[in-house]
Structures are given as structure tokens and as C-alpha cells.
Chain A
Amino acid sequence: SAVISQKPSRDICQRGTSLTIQCQVDSQVTMMFWYRQQPGQSLTLIATANQGSEATYESGFVIDKFPISRPNLTFSTLTVSNMSPEDSSIYLCSVDKPGTSPYEQYFGPGTRLTVT
């Protein structure tokens, strides 16, 4: 199984600022996913990040607001730009389990973001 770490684990930020969240995996993976989990809600996919190509964003999420980098097969970053209180959420990265369906995903512990 893959071990995934995220930094920071939590942060409190002022509106109008940006925060970059890091996701590190202990093994090489093809696909990395970024999710948002709003308070008391389910998970919503923001984008899929493959190494060497632009991230693919889901409806309702745009690159200017959530730029993503994927410089290699073990690391990715998600930036939450020009934050507002509505961006207060848990942000989770996940990876697909090698050798199986892309739906069997391992999740990181999440980054708990509060925007004031």
C-alpha cells in the first residue's frame, strides 16, 4: 500500500491570500487526485494530475483558482488562490493503487483549511 503525507496538516489563512498544499507519496504512482471535502460534506473531485501533462479539472473548478503542479511521479501540489471563507474545507490528495483499478485509491490525511 502507498503511504501518503500532506503538508500542512492544517492552516488558518486570511482572505485574499494563497496556500500551497503538498502531497508526497512513498512510491511512484501514475495518477494523483485532489479532492475537496466541505464541512460535514462528502468528497468532490477537483482535478486529476498526471506527471508531464496539465491537470484535468472537473466542472466548477478552474486552474486560476486551483493551480496544480505534478513535477514527478511521487509529488504534487495544489494551490488555493485568492482565498475566501467559502474555501474553508479539507483538501485531500489520493493516488491510484498500482496494478488495480484507478478507483481503488489511497488517500492522504488531508489539509484542514480555515479562511478568515
Chain B
Amino acid sequence: GQQLNQSPQSMFIQEGEDVSMNCTSSSIFNTWLWYKQEPGEGPVLLIALYKAGELTSNGRLTAQFGITRKDSFLNISASIPSDVGIYFCAGPEYGNKLVFGAGTILRVKS
């Protein structure tokens, strides 16, 4: 099956810093999604992207659908302690099946 490569694997940043993470695939995707999972919870959808080049914001979060359709980026501005969690990218593999990246673990020092 298709694989999504997320980087970095983990980040430990100072509160107030901006965060960037990305997700790449060897195959073209027509949809990119970003989810966040907090400890003890299920993933929560942050942003969905449907068009190459699309840039979409959700509060302090901004995600972009790469122009090659093989990558996507997520930025978090002015991080705060509640941004802690695991950020997953995901895309449709076939039918209704989503394939998830391995996740980026974000820790914030206050």
C-alpha cells in the first residue's frame, strides 16, 4: 500500500515558537488531511485540503497542499502548551480507505 512519510518524527519547542512539519508520498494524492491526537483521545480533524496549491488556515494552523500533489505542509504559529500532541497527515489510498503517516510528536516547553 501507499506510505506517507512525516517529518520531523518529534519536536520539542519553546512556547511562542512557530512549528513546521511535512508529509510526503511517492504517489499523487487528491486529498490531504491533517489530524491531531492528544493523549487518551482519538484523532481530531484539523484541516482538509482538496486542491493542489491550496492554502487553508484554521486559527493558528495553516496547511498547504503541495503543487506536485505528493506533499503537504502544516504550520503552527506562536505555539502554546495545548498544541502538545501527535499530528498525523492522511490521504485516501483507495475507495474510502485513509492511509496515515507515522505522526509528528509535538512537545512544548512553557
Chain A residues packing against B (C-beta within 8 Å): 4, 31, 33, 41-45, 48, 58-59, 92, 94, 96-97, 100-110
Contacts and interface: CB of A to CB of B under 8 A. Distances in A.
Interface residues on B, range: 20 to 34
Contacts of B97: 45, 48, 58
B80 interface: no
A41 B48 contact: no
Contacts of B40: 109-110
A109 B92 contact: no
B96 A92 contact: no
B101 A42 contact: yes
Given A43-B88, A104-B48, A48 B42 contact: no
Contacts, number: 56
B96 A43 contact: no
A108 B92 contact: no
Of the listed residues B35, B45, B91, the one surrounded by the most CB atoms of chain A closer than 10 A to its CB is B45
A38 to B, nearest CB: 12
Contacts of B1: 59
